[in-house]
């Protein structure tokens, strides 16, 4: 059970970092592409993105990690079934 919880938390962190980073890069790229100020605009856009959307990304990543862990979809979270003991058949 502890192993499953650790893997679930690990998947939460991985999902959050990947999705949040990709979303931030796309947001900054789109918002700063037509300006000549470059870095300053990109930093401001990144701050605006973080302030506006971090809670959505946290909650979404948590929900995906919980569902994936409970269902056993994510690697390392599948519940192992107990082995069946073979009984000798009477002939």
* Residue entry with tokens 């991985």: 14
- What is the rounded distance in angstroms from the CA atom of residue 9 to the CA atom of residue 17? 12
pLDDT at residue 60, as a whole number: 92
* Residue of higher predicted confidence among 91 and 73: 73
Per-residue pLDDT reduced to its tens digit, 37-63: 677 777 777 788 888 888 999 999 999
Give the ranges where 1-91 is alpha helix by DSSP (H).
Answer: 2-32, 39-71
- What is the rounded distance in angstroms from the CA atom of residue 32 to the CA atom of residue 40? 9
- What is the rounded distance in angstroms from the CA atom of residue 66 to the CA atom of residue 55? 16
* pTM over the 0.85 mark: no
């Amino acid at each position: 059970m502890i192993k499953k919880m650790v893997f679930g938390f690990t998947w939460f962190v991985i999902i959050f970092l990947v999705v949040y980073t990709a979303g931030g890069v796309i947001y900054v790229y789109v918002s700063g592409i037509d300006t000549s100020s470059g870095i300053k605009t990109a930093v401001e856009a990144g701050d605006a993105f973080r302030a506006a959307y971090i809670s959505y990304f946290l909650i979404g990543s948590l929900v995906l990690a919980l569902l994936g862990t409970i269902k056993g979809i994510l690697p390392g979270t599948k519940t192992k079934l107990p082995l069946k003991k073979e009984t000798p058949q009477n002939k």
